[in-house]
């Protein structure tokens, strides 16, 4: 069971997930945040990163004076967990309710609807 | 271990005094002196309370010793103890052993009998250090658990603040105060006012996030200042002190005072950083923070923004009065600090040291040896009472042991008494224990010199440094005091120069002596004395203080003479010795009646080669035998007669001589080796080889005899 993370922490996690390199360095995150237009103080970032480490999302390897951060939770894992959470909270665990809401509420674009349909059929055949 | 407790008690007392001084001083200087100083000066007191170090000379050291002795006497534990063994008296010793044995058996009896309570109390007093330690540990453990549960309570409802903006502001403030560690910011609605937790990873806990920007900055600044100054460690140091000194009410007062001073000084630091302009705003923040009433009373170990309302009022006052300290105040502060630090280090603690130093051989006291520990404490006192017995019982070795345990003052008294009682054996024993050139030696040297007591002085001279001896010798030469000169020359182990000086002086003494004798009608011819033309068979001259005596016998003499002196040692006349006096003297000297025939070894050599010892035969000697040398040499400088166990080898250095006499020629006199020995332990009975030697240059016409008189048959 993954712990909840705050928006600011998620922002950082996204940067780390988005990094093609195996390990992420502190200045990289700092840069990305500035690029996104959400700059923050050094201490703030350190605090947020240490919170993520405490929550088991990141691990840090100290090399000299710099930390090399690696993810312990993949983006998909996180998304699945969050979706489950969402399903439980809003639809009481019923995925049908979610999908029907997506369709009925016109939340899906036409292309997305087609893709989803294919995905469902494919999944049926396999099982 | 009770010694540890004792030094702790004294530390507590010294610390208590300092606390009182500081509290008293605070009344006058509260607003005039830096709050920082008021805060950190307590550290001196805390260290005084915790560190068992003190200078050897301390203001209260003597007082502690006195209290200690009084306490030891009144303690029921020591009353139950057997009296100190008295090695001087065997029956007493046995009695006390018996009593000790009875005592050892008694606790079980007592428990079942009428005084179980008293027994428990005695046990507690015996192990009072344990009681103290257990309570101290208990209190400390309680404080730690309370703190832990408080931290748990805080952490339970802890929400990290995810507002980036707020975190950024915290970061900036942290940079301002140059705090390097990342500071965590959390919210817990359960806390009444902002606080800081964590020893190494600081975490500021706010009651809520809904705080105006300005307030937030002040709060953070205040808490970060706490963190920066490591106030939490200081607080815990104080808590440990309080636990260890739980019996001292002043320590609690100090703890409260430090808590207050901590906030004051923190406020001061914040204001100094931000400038006086913000004083009003800062005060308002404090008030707002207090608006919420504390929901969790226990603040122990955490550093909070506000502790209580009374303190808050004072703090507000102090904040408004804040101004940068002037130069005058700074100087005053420096002087005060110095005074207090010096005061703290010199107020001193009880040291068992000097008592233990007197008996370094006693094993370190352990839990199993409360008795041993107490004995050490009592040593000084007991020695004082024992020494009297030993002295009266005429037991020099025991006296010496007891003397070594006395303090200087008592030693002084005893030296005085020995001197007055004229018991020189004790004098030697006592002086032998004194340090070279110590105050007592110096004092008594003056005294004995002034009193003209040569023999007493000579004992002291053995414990003087060369410099002192030379100074004395100068004095003796100046005063023309031959007997003291001779003592001092001996003590100085003369080198060539002083040898010559000595020779010269000895000649002068001899001349002076002869002149003195001639004044009363005694003339000298060579070594013999004549009175009214008659050769003296016995010539005796004893000084009134027994220090120096001349005794010359010549069997061919027809009269027995003695010199009469007055109290000032001046010769007043000459008298014939009575028959009884002669018998007494001769009996003392030789006991001729009891002797069996002595063995006479005649000596007659034309020449004796320099260096080579001449073997005179093996002789069996037994303890009590008397040996007499009476050998002359016509030419040559030095003659030596001695016994040895084994034949001396050439160049042998570690040769052991027995009953050796080595005589240097006195100018203008014949070289004559006369000496008189008694075979005594440590020399053992056995066969010895007798030798005659010319150590310097060869001797010519050596004549005379050596006699060995067997021990008197009782």
d(CA B187, CA B205): 5
Q: How far is B184 from chain A (nearest CA, A)?
A: 6
Q: How far is A120 from chain B (nearest CA, A)?
A: 39
* Cα–Cα distance measured from residue B64 to residue B62, given in angstroms and rounded to the nearest whole number: 5
| A82 and A49 share one domain | no
CATH number of the domain that A94 lies in? 1.10.4040
Phi, psi of B203 (to 5 degrees): -140, 120
**For the segment B161-208, what is each residue's pLDDT rounded down to a tens digit?**
888 888 888 888 888 888 888 888 888 888 777 888 888 888 888 888
| Distance between CA atoms of residues B524 and B563, nearest Å | 14
- Look at B167 and A47 and tell me if their CB atoms are within 8 Å: yes
Query: What is the model's pLDDT at position B592?
Result: 46
Give the pLDDT confidence of B533-591 residue by residue, as tens digits: 778 777 777 765 555 566 777 777 777 777 777 766 677 778 787 777 777 666 555 44
Q: What mean pLDDT, rounded, does chain B reach?
A: 74
Contacts A–B by Cβ distance under 8 A? 42
pLDDT given for residue B104 in this prediction = 44
Where do we find the tokens 């990873």? B201
Q: Does A103 touch chain B (CB under 8 A)?
A: no
A46 and A98 in a common domain: no
**Peptide bond before B520: cis, by omega within 30 degrees of 0?**
no
Return the SS3 of B537: strand
Tell whether A9 lies on the interface with B, counting CB pairs under 8 A. yes
Is A40 at the interface with chain B, CB within 8 A? Answer: yes
Are residues A93 and A121 located together in one domain of the fold? yes
Of A8, A42, A46, the CB nearest to B162: A8
Stretch among B232-241, B248-257, B455-464 having the lowest mean pLDDT: B455-464
Q: What is the CATH number of the domain that holds A31?
A: 1.10.10.10
| Interchain pair B171, A44: CB under 8 A | yes
Q: Let me know whether A81 and A115 are in one domain.
A: yes
Q: Which of A102-116, B210-224, B268-282 has the lowest mean pLDDT?
A: B268-282
Interval B688-697: pLDDT, tens: 888 888 877 8
Highest mean pLDDT among B22-36, B221-235, B454-468: B221-235
Using the Cβ of A62 and the Cβ atoms of chain B, whether some distance falls under 8 Å is answered with: no
Q: Is residue A2 part of a domain?
A: no
B182-201 residues touching A, CB cutoff 8 A: 182-185
Question: Are A56 and A102 within one domain?
Answer: no
| B-chain residues near A38 (CB < 8 A) | 164
List B25's β-bridge partners, or say none.
none
pLDDT for B142: 92
Instruction: List, for residues B420-434, the tens digit of each pLDDT value.
Output: 888 888 888 888 888
Q: Is A7 on the interface with B (CB under 8 A)?
A: yes
Q: What would the pLDDT profile of B493-503 be if each residue is shown by its tens digit?
A: 655 566 677 67
User: What is the pLDDT at residue B139?
Assistant: 92
A51 contacts B171? CB cut-off 8 A: no
Locate the chain A residue with the closest alpha carbon to B202.
A47
CA-based nearest distance B187→chain A, Å:
14
Query: Which of A7, A41, A55, A65 has the highest number of chain B CBs within 10 A, making it the mutation to test binding with B?
Result: A41
Candidates B170, B182, B201: best to mutate against A (most CBs of A within 10 A) is B182
Query: In this predicted structure, what is the pLDDT of residue B91?
Result: 44
Chain A residues closer than 8 Å to B164 by CB: 8, 38, 40, 44
Give the number of other CB atoms < 10 A from CB of residue B548: 15
Q: With an 8 Å Cβ cutoff, are B170 and A51 in contact?
A: no
User: Is A38 inside a domain boundary?
Assistant: yes
Asked if residue A99 is part of any domain, the answer here is: yes
Residue of A nearest to B201 (CA): A47
Distance CA B452, CA B565 (A): 15
Q: Give residue limits of the domains in chain B.
A: 157-322, 407-493, 509-589, 599-709
* B170 and chain A in contact, CB less than 8 A: yes
In which order are the strands placed within the sheet that holds B203-206? B159-160, B184-187, B203-206, B195-197, B303-304
Please report which confidence band the pLDDT of residue B379 belongs to, taking 50, 70 and 90 as the band edges. Answer: low
Strands B303-304, B195-197: pairing kind = antiparallel
Find which of A11, A37, A44 to mutate to test the B interface (most B CBs within 10 Å of its CB).
Answer: A44
B440-to-B407, B411, B412, B430, B435 alpha-carbon distances in Å: 12, 8, 7, 11, 9
Inform me whether the C-beta atom of residue A32 falls under 8 Å from chain B C-beta atoms: no
User: Which of A75-79, B75-79, B103-107, B122-126 has maximum average pLDDT?
Assistant: A75-79
Class of domain B599-709: mainly beta
Which of B709, B63, B4 lies closest to B353 in space, CA to CA? B4
Q: Is B422 left (phi over 0), alpha (psi -120 to 50) or beta?
A: left
- The residue to which tokens 């201490």 are assigned: A43
Residues of A in contact with B182 (CB under 8 A): 43, 46-47, 50
B460 falls in which pLDDT band (50, 70, 90)? confident
Is A36 an interface residue toward B (CB < 8 Å)? no
The residue-averaged pLDDT of B113-142 equals: 82
- Looking at the fold, whether A22 and A62 belong to one and the same domain comes out as yes
Tell me the pLDDT band of B61, cut-offs 50, 70 and 90: low
A55 and A82 share a domain? no
Grade residue B138 by pLDDT with cuts at 50, 70 and 90: very high
Lowest mean pLDDT across A96-105, B598-607, B648-657? B648-657
Is B159 at the interface with chain A, CB within 8 A? no
Residue A38, chain B, CB below 8 Å: the answer is: yes
The question of ipTM being above 0.90 is answered as no
Mean pLDDT of B609-617: 80
Could you tell me which residues come within 8 angstroms of residue B572 by beta carbon, excluding any fewer than 6 positions away? Answer: B520, B564, B565, B566
A100 assigned to some structural domain: yes
Least confident of A8-17, B223-232, B267-276, B457-466: B267-276
Q: Which of A36, A53, A71 is the last residue of a domain?
A: A71
- Chain A residues close to B171, C-beta within 8 Å: 40-44
- Residue B276 pLDDT: 65
Query: Above 50 in pLDDT, residue B76?
Result: no
Q: What is the pLDDT of residue B274?
A: 76
A94 touches chain B (CB under 8 A): no
- In this complex, the residue of B168, B182, B184 whose CB is nearest that of residue A40 is B168
Confidence band, pLDDT 50/70/90 cuts, at residue B75:
very low
Of residues B357 and A37, which shows the higher confidence score? A37
Q: Are residues A51 and A64 located together in one domain of the fold?
A: yes
In a domain, A23, yes or no: yes
B160 Cβ under 8 Å from any chain A Cβ: yes
Contact between chains at B164 and A46 (C-beta distance less than 8 A): no
Provide the pLDDT for residue B417. 86
Contact B694, B663 (CB under 8 A): no
The answer to whether B172 contacts A51, with C-beta atoms less than 8 Å apart, is no
In chain A, the number of structural domains is 2
User: By the CB < 8 Å criterion, does A54 face chain B?
Assistant: no
Measure the CA angle with vertex A44, ends A40 and A48; round to 5°: 115
Quote the percentage of chain B above a pLDDT of 70: 74
Interface check B162 vs A, CB under 8 A: yes
Q: What is the separation of C-alpha B48 from the centre of its chain, rounded to a whole number of angstroms?
A: 23
Q: Say whether residue A34 is in contact with chain B using an 8 A CB cutoff.
A: no
Q: Does the pLDDT of residue B532 top 80, yes or no?
A: no
The model's pTM is 0.48
Q: What is the pLDDT of residue B140?
A: 92
Contacts 24+ apart (CB under 8 A), B279-287: B279/B319, B279/B320, B279/B322, B280/B320, B281/B214, B281/B218, B282/B218, B282/B319, B283/B316, B283/B319, B283/B320, B284/B215, B285/B214, B285/B215, B285/B218, B285/B219, B286/B312, B286/B315, B286/B316, B286/B319, B287/B312, B287/B316
Average pLDDT over residues B292-299: 42
Band the pLDDT of B315: cuts 50, 70, 90: confident
Residues A60 and A103 in one domain: no
pLDDT attached to residue B285:
73
On whether any CB of chain A is under 8 Å from the CB of B470, the answer is: no
Best of B164, B203, B205 to substitute, by most chain A Cβ atoms within 10 angstroms, is: B164
Q: Is B644 helix (H, G, I), strand (E, B) or coil?
A: strand
| Chain B positions in Cβ-Cβ contact with residue A6 (cut-off 8 Å) | 160, 162
Tens-digit pLDDT profile for residues A51-74: 888 888 888 888 877 888 888 888
Q: How many residues does chain B have?
A: 714
- Residue B295: phi and psi, rounded to 5, are -100, -20
To the nearest whole Å, the CA of B181 is away from the closest chain A CA by 8
Cross-chain CB nearest to B171 (options A6, A7, A43):
A43
A57 shares its domain with A14: yes
Domain membership of residue A54 as a residue range: 7-71
| pLDDT mean across residues, chain A | 84
pLDDT for the residue B325: 62
Backbone angles phi, psi at A53, to 5 degrees: -65, -40
What would the pLDDT profile of A13-36 be if each residue is shown by its tens digit? 998 888 888 888 888 888 888 888
B387-391 — which CB contacts under 8 Å span 24+ positions? B387/B414, B389/B86, B389/B88, B389/B89, B390/B88, B391/B417, B391/B426
Inform me whether the C-beta atom of residue A48 falls under 8 Å from chain B C-beta atoms.
yes
Mean pLDDT of B29-44: 80
- Same domain flag for A12 and A30: yes
Query: What residues of chain B lie within 8 A of the CB of A8, using their CB?
Result: 162-164, 167
* Average confidence (pLDDT) over B142-158: 87
Is residue B516 predicted with pLDDT exceeding 60?
A: yes
Biggest CA–CA distance in chain A, Å, is 56
- Asked whether residue A34 falls in the same domain as residue A81, the answer is no
Query: Between the ranges A66-80, B24-38, B364-378, B513-527, where is the mean pLDDT highest?
Result: A66-80
Q: Given B164, B172, B174, which is nearest A8 (Cβ)? A: B164
Judged by a CB distance cut-off of 8 A, whether residue A44 touches chain B is yes
Taking the CA of residue B185 and the nearest CA in chain A, the distance in Å comes to 8
Q: Is A60 on the interface with B (CB under 8 A)?
A: no
Q: What is the pLDDT of residue B499?
A: 66
User: How far A4 CA lies from chain B's nearest CA (Å)?
Assistant: 12
User: Which residues have C-beta within 8 Å of that of residue B385, sequence separation ≥ 6?
Assistant: none
Q: What is the pLDDT averaged over residues B123-136?
A: 83
């Amino acid at each position: 069971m993954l712990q909840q993370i705050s928006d600011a922490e998620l922002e950082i996690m996204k940067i780390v997930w988005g990094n093609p390199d195996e390990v992420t360095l502190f200045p990289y995150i700092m840069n990305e945040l500035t690029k996104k237009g959400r700059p923050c103080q050094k201490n703030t970032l350190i605090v947020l990163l240490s919170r993520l480490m405490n929550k088991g999302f990141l691990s840090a390897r100290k090399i000299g004076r710099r930390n090399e951060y690696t993810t312990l939770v993949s983006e998909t894992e996180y998304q699945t967990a969050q979706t489950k959470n969402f399903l439980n909270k809003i639809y009481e665990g019923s995925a049908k309710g979610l999908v029907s809401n997506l369709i009925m509420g016109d939340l899906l674009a036409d292309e997305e609807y087609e893709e989803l349909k294919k995905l469902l059929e494919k999944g049926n055949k396999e099982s | 271990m009770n010694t540890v407790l004792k030094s702790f008690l004294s530390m507590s007392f010294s610390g208590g005094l300092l606390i009182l001084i500081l509290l008293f001083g605070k009344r006058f200087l509260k607003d005039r002196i830096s709050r920082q100083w008021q805060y950190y000066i307590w550290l001196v007191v805390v260290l005084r309370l915790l560190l068992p170090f003190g200078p050897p000379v301390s203001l209260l050291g003597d007082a502690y010793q006195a209290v200690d002795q009084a306490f030891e006497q009144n303690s029921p534990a020591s009353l139950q103890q057997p009296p100190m063994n008295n090695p001087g008296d065997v029956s007493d010793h046995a009695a006390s052993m018996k009593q000790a044995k009875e005592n050892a058996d008694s606790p079980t009896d007592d428990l079942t009998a009428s005084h179980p309570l008293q027994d428990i109390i005695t046990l507690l007093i015996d192990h009072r250090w344990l009681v103290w330690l257990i309570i101290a540990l208990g209190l400390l453990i309680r404080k730690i658990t309370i703190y832990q549960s408080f931290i748990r309570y805080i952490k339970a409802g802890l929400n990290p603040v995810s507002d980036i903006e707020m975190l950024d502001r915290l970061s900036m403030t942290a940079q301002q105060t140059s705090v390097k560690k990342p500071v965590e910011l959390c919210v817990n609605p359960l806390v009444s006012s902002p606080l800081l937790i964590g020893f190494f990873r600081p975490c500021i806990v706010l009651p809520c996030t809904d705080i105006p920007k300005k307030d937030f900055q002040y709060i953070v600044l205040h808490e970060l200042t706490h963190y920066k100054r490591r106030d939490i460690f200081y607080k815990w140091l104080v808590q440990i002190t309080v636990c260890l000194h739980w019996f001292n009410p002043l320590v609690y007062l100090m703890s409260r005072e430090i808590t207050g001073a901590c906030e004051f000084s923190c406020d001061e630091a914040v204001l100094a950083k931000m400038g006086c302009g913000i004083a009003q705003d800062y005060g308002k923040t404090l008030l707002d923070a207090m608006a919420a009433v504390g929901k969790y009373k226990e603040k122990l170990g955490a550093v909070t923004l506000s502790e209580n309302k009374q303190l808050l009022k004072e703090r507000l006052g102090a904040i408004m009065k804040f101004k940068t300290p002037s130069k005058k105040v700074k100087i005053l502060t420096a002087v005060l600090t110095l005074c207090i630090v010096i005061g703290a280090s010199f107020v001193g603690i009880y040291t068992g040291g000097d008592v233990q130093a007197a008996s370094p051989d006693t094993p370190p006291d352990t839990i199993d040896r409360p008795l041993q520990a107490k004995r050490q404490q009592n040593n000084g006192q007991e020695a004082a009472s024992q020494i009297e017995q030993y002295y009266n019982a005429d037991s020099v070795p025991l006296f010496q042991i007891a003397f070594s345990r006395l303090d200087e003052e008592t030693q002084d008294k005893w030296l005085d008494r020995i001197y007055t009682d004229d018991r020189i054996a004790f004098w030697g024993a006592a002086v032998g224990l004194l340090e070279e050139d110590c105050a007592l030696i110096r004092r008594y040297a003056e005294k004995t010199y002034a009193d003209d007591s040569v023999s007493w002085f000579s004992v002291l001279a053995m414990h003087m440094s060369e410099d002192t001896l030379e100074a004395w010798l100068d004095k003796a030469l100046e005063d023309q005091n031959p007997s003291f000169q001779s003592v001092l020359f001996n003590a100085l182990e003369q080198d060539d120069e002083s040898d010559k000086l000595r020779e010269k002086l000895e000649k002068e003494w001899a001349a002076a002596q002869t002149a003195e004798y001639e004044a009363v009608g005694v003339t000298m011819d060579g070594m013999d004395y004549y009175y009214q033309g008659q050769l003296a068979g016995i010539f005796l001259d004893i000084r009134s203080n027994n220090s120096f005596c001349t005794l010359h016998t010549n069997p061919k003499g027809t009269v027995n003479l003695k010199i009469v002196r007055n109290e000032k040692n001046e010769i007043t006349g000459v008298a014939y010795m009575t028959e009884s006096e002669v018998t007494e003297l001769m009996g003392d000297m030789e006991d001729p009646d009891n002797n069996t025939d002595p063995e006479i070894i005649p000596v007659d050599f034309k020449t004796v080669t320099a260096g080579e010892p001449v073997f005179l035969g093996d002789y069996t000697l037994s303890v009590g035998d008397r040996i007499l040398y009476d050998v002359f040499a016509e030419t040559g400088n030095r003659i030596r007669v001695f016994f040895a166990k084994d034949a001396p080898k050439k160049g042998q250095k570690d040769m052991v001589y027995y009953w050796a006499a080595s005589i240097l020629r006195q100018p203008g006199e014949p070289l004559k080796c006369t000496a008189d020995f008694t075979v005594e332990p440590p020399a053992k009975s056995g066969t010895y080889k007798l030798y005659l030697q010319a150590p310097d240059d060869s001797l010519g016409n050596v004549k005379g005899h050596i006699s060995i008189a067997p021990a008197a048959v009782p």
